[in-house]
Structure 1
Amino acid sequence: MRSIKKLFLVLLACVFLISAAACGGTPAENDPGGTDNPSGSAGQLKDGEINIFLPIDSDSETAFKNVGNSYTKMMKAKGITVRVNVRSSQDPQGYITSVDGLLKNPDKQTGDIIQANTVTQYYGSGKLVDFTPYLNTTNAYNDNKVWKSTLREDAYRTDNKTQQIYNLSMEGNAFVAFYNKDIFEEYGIAVPTDWASLIAALDALKEAGYTAPLGLNFDAAGLEGNNFYWVMRMYMDQYFRDMIRDVHSQDGDYSYISEIDEVWEYDPTDPLNDSASLYTYNFTRVVNEYFKEGSKYNAMSARFADMMANMKKLASYAS
């Protein structure tokens, strides 16, 4: 029996948002400083200090410090002295209290880049920078492309109440699959493009003697917190994707927006088909669809059982 070969690997990251605290000045009158100056410094770069304060772990803090060091070196080559300070917190409630304190007393505490969705009470208060004007300027660090054109829409969601953008997503969930090209070529296996071809590839590798051809970790203690759990969540989202069609806002619903919902069409191949700018849903319809008798979406349905059977089969290739 051959040793275990890990042919697939899942890389995942947690989503969270960052924002700029407006310490000094009036952020309600943000000036991006020209179409190709993302620093907002009215056409010239200045010496200064950037203080980053985020609820991140030690590994993420190290990553931020490395980015900060690289930025400092880049600016030094231009004759500009910039210091980047990174501070982290692993205490959720303590972080919220600290951010609230620095927004109330910016002269006593430092924090230019923060996670602002923890203090939404300050939206529209003038204490947080509105990124809207900046997103329409060009990015000098990315071939002078307009910032919006290089970001996914869900990276800069508009606050519904103020119609301003206080948060930018700096990380996201991603599914990345790796395979051993040499082994695939040796056994004449094509790169999987759908569920059926994935299972066929795994079956062929098991027959060839690979005891665990799928590199996904899980244990008897449970799925949450490991790679297999994230794969299951993504698979469930895709398996029940058509639910967005059934809960879509209809004319007369409280959530209906005519200019959006009149033109929306269900497209299962589009991952952004239900993005906030293109689609709305009625939460009452969500509840009714899930709990109604004969629902095809809840855990009592035959469809859900089939989905879990697929997950069980997938797990059999990882152990």
Structure 2
Amino acid sequence: MKKLSALLLSALLLLGAFAAFTGCGGGNDNPPDTTTDKIDYNGTININLPIKDYPFEDIALKAVAEAYMDKHPETDVKVEGQTSSTYKDWLDSQFAGGSSVTDADIVQTLLISNAYLTTKMVDYSSYLVKPNPYNQNKSWKDTMEEEAYPLSTDRSGIYTLNFTTNMSFFFYNKTLWKQAGLTNADGTDKAPKTWDELLEFCAQIESNTQDKVPFAVGGATYTTGAMSWLLNIYGDQYYRGIADDIHAVAGDYCYDPDIDADWTLDITDKNNDSPSNYTANMLRFYAALMDNQITPKDAKYQAMITNLKKLIPVYCQDNFISNNYYQAEELFWGGNAAMVYNTTDFFNTYKQIFAQRPDAEKFEIGFFPAPPMTGTGDAKPDADTVRSVGGAVGWYGVVKKDKKQNDLVMDFMMFWGSKEGQDIYNQSLKEQGAYISGNSLVKDVDTPAEIYPAKEYEFPGLCHNNPVGQFFGNLASMNGSSYQMFEALCKNVFNGDITVARFGEQLTKAFQNDIPTYFTQMGWKSDAYLTPEKDPRL
């Protein structure tokens, strides 16, 4: 689903992370029993996911469907992939008919509005506590990692399921890496351990390769693609300790004593600020921004932008500021740039690009995690490690039908989400020479290295648990005027048209001016930041 990857990832950042920032209360601890002990397998399951453009995913899912039908010959599982570029429009058309119901049974939920999510999708909650007959009759939820079944943004239920993960890396051309002399004595590739060392690598590439760009990136937009990811992961590194300032305390409208009473800040714990571990009261964040306690004018944020400017555009292509995400990567595919920054979907992009260009000069790719920035005093990052964009992916939802159909479709999801189902899917990818975006969220599944070259890398945690690692609490991405100002100021500062200090001052002013408008758009009181303990909707 690479064509949608930037859009999907942005939507994930904007919507998925929203649960961490706006949620209050909890799910139903005792969901009603909605399944029967005996499934009526005489029926049809229609799977409509945006995989039509990506035959390897289509073939792998059909392999799972065939295996399920071998177990239940009376069931017909139809995999009918949709085109990724028109998938959102297709989804809207399926659910816009009032009481009418689509023929689709399994869809991707990421681009579905919350209204449709809670009214048109089956809540997984009551099924997750059932035994999974395809996984030793263990409770279904106990056979998966917690990230596989996230609570909805309004915490009303669980409407989406994820089977794998996604993370981000710097990817490099191994041929150019060797030409630049970036190899160890044993012949292995060097990887930078700090941001300053990454800059040294860039200088060496520029010096030792002929007319090659050390790092290709698109500077046309800063809320999608690599530039947005870099701003978010390093914003999170510098402000990891913000969780201590904005967590819900006793008396706050969103305080959850089950997780908040005993919570303490631990920057070394990558999941310390996960929504399952603590509650972020975003009103406290916006109040801190309005009070100039946390702003783009801070020494830390200024240091982060200054560090990024040492790479971008110093070691980038000449037309960086006008290139979009895909134009920049063309330099990489043509062998004219040494590095790009992307998510693990990039493995399949690599396969597809050279399959489509048989006459192109193919090269091997390497990868390494984003190295941490360093500093001293007020400009020192809070954390010594860098977290990632991405996280759990899949976003599989079951369209609500009658109980008989819901039970049947959920039975298939149990099979697909079992070790057996995942092994079948992964084996198909392996046979096709294709890749998967990350390690499985289904326990006991050993993802083959052949389909996931980065399997030995542990996921470093989600940067967008942190509002600074999430476009300053979505102000720069969801609010119209702030979004436009953020885009314009980023272009200006990275193009050298304004100073970093001026960038911080103007962006801070834009955020502070627009917070009341943003609150109104959210259905909150425009001055809710003045009373962060109160529900902003009341």
- 1:1-319 maps to which residues of 2 (within 5 A)? 14=9, 29-31=33-35, 42=39, 46=41, 48-53=43-48, 56=50, 59=53, 62=55, 65-75=58-68, 77-78=70-71, 80=73, 81-87=76-82, 90=86, 92=88, 95-101=91-97, 104-106=99-101, 109-115=102-108, 118=112, 120-121=114-115, 128-136=121-129, 147-149=140-142, 151-159=144-152, 163-169=156-162, 173-179=166-172, 180=174, 183-185=182-184, 190-209=190-209, 214-219=214-219, 221-293=220-292, 295=293, 297-315=294-312, 316-319=314-317
Secondary structure of the residue aligned to 1:114 is: strand
Deviation, structure 1 residue 113: 1.6
Secondary structure of the residue aligned to 1:83 is: strand
Give the conservation status (yes or no) of the 8 Å contact 1:130–1:166: yes
Distance 1:144 1:176 in 2: 38
Give the conservation status (yes or no) of the 8 Å contact 1:49–1:85: no
Deviation, structure 1 residue 286: 0.8
Distance 2:80 2:126 in 1: 26
Distance 1:48 1:68 in 2: 19
Give the conservation status (yes or no) of the 8 Å contact 2:215–2:316: yes
Give the conservation status (yes or no) of the 8 Å contact 2:192–2:201: yes
Deviation, structure 1 residue 71: 2.2
Distance 1:223 1:211 in 2: 27
Structure 2 partner of 1:5: none
Distance 1:232 1:214, change over 3 A: farther
Give the conservation status (yes or no) of the 8 Å contact 1:249–1:261: yes
Give the conservation status (yes or no) of the 8 Å contact 2:131–2:139: yes
Give the conservation status (yes or no) of the 8 Å contact 1:239–1:307: yes
- Deviation per residue, 1:178-205 (Å, 9 max, x gap): 4538642269874333434433444444
Whichever residue aligns with residue 132 of structure 1, its letter is: S
Q: CA RMSD in A?
A: 4.0
Deviation, structure 1 residue 230: 2.0
Distance 1:154 1:238 in 2: 22
Secondary structure of the residue aligned to 2:240 is: coil
Deviation, structure 1 residue 285: 0.9
Secondary structure of the residue aligned to 1:50 is: strand
State percent identity of aligned pairs.
27
Secondary structure of the residue aligned to 2:80 is: strand
Distance 2:164 2:116 in 1: 23
Distance 2:236 2:77 in 1: 44
Distance 1:58 1:230, change over 3 A: farther
Whichever residue aligns with residue 311 of structure 2, its letter is: L
Whichever residue aligns with residue 96 of structure 1, its letter is: D
Deviation, structure 1 residue 287: 0.8
Secondary structure of the residue aligned to 1:168 is: coil
Deviation, structure 1 residue 249: 1.4
Secondary structure of the residue aligned to 2:168 is: coil
Whichever residue aligns with residue 92 of structure 2, its letter is: I
Give the conservation status (yes or no) of the 8 Å contact 2:129–2:141: yes
Whichever residue aligns with residue 309 of structure 1, its letter is: T
Secondary structure of the residue aligned to 1:158 is: coil
Secondary structure of the residue aligned to 1:176 is: strand
Relative to the length of structure 2, the TM-score reads 0.44
Equivalent residues, number: 282
Distance 1:145 1:308, change over 3 A: farther
Deviation, structure 1 residue 165: 1.6
More helix by share: 2
Deviation, structure 1 residue 268: 2.2
Structure 2 partner of 1:23: none
Distance 1:227 1:122, change over 3 A: closer
Deviation, structure 1 residue 226: 3.2
Deviation, structure 1 residue 105: 2.2
Whichever residue aligns with residue 150 of structure 2, its letter is: R
Secondary structure of the residue aligned to 2:59 is: helix
Structure 2 partner of 1:38: none
Deviation, structure 1 residue 65: 3.0
Whichever residue aligns with residue 58 of structure 2, its letter is: K
Whichever residue aligns with residue 217 of structure 2, its letter is: N
Give the conservation status (yes or no) of the 8 Å contact 1:189–1:201: no
Give the unaligned 5+ runs of structure 2: 16-30, 318-538
Distance 1:83 1:58, change over 3 A: closer
Distance 1:164 1:79, change over 3 A: closer
